[in-house]
């Protein structure tokens, strides 16, 4: 039994990097899912504004929280509003690879 003293501490130290990596990956995937939900809402807000004669880009940007201000691009083509959003990430290259896009269409009110 004397040989196994401290073994739990050694195993914890050995497993800690894997646990931290798994937690980081899980949080990044949650952030990407949250960004997709936000992009959906922003695209819908832009389409509603477009249908009522307003600025789709302004409405889409206004529907997003402050942290997304520099991470969003809005395109309006015909009656379709597309929103591309980068999820929050400490690694910009990873955020770029996890970027999400959502579109919504509108018809003008008659």
> 73: domain range?
2-105
Q: Is residue 14 part of a domain?
A: yes
**3-state SS class at 17:** helix
How many distinct structural domains can be found in the chain? 1
Q: Is residue 47 part of a domain?
A: yes
Q: H helices of the chain, where?
A: 7-51, 56-62, 92-97
Q: Is residue 101 part of a domain?
A: yes
Q: Is residue 46 part of a domain?
A: yes
Check: CB of residue 57 under 8 Å from CB of residue 74.
Answer: yes
Which residue from 50, 73, 52, 48 is spatially nearest to 61, judged by alpha carbons?
73
Cα gap 101→22, rounded to integer Å: 25
Q: Is residue 13 part of a domain?
A: yes
Q: Note the pTM of the prediction, 2 decimals.
A: 0.83
What's the pLDDT score for residue 15?
87
What's the pLDDT score for residue 6?
80
> In the chain, pLDDT over 90 holds for what percent of residues?
80
Residue 29 in this model has a pLDDT that exceeds 90: yes
Q: Is residue 110 part of a domain?
A: no
């Amino acid at each position: 039994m004397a040989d196994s003293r401290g073994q739990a501490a050694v195993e914890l130290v050995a497993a800690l990097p894997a646990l931290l990596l798994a937690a980081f990956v899980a949080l990044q995937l949650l952030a990407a899912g949250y960004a997709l939900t936000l992009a959906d809402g922003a695209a819908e807000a832009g389409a509603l504004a477009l249908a009522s004669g307003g600025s789709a880009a302004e409405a889409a940007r206004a529907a997003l929280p402050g942290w997304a201000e520099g991470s969003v691009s809005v395109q309006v083509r015909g009656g379709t509003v597309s929103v591309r959003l980068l999820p929050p990430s400490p690694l910009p290259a990873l955020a770029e690879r996890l970027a999400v896009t959502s579109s919504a269409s509108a018809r003008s009110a008659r």
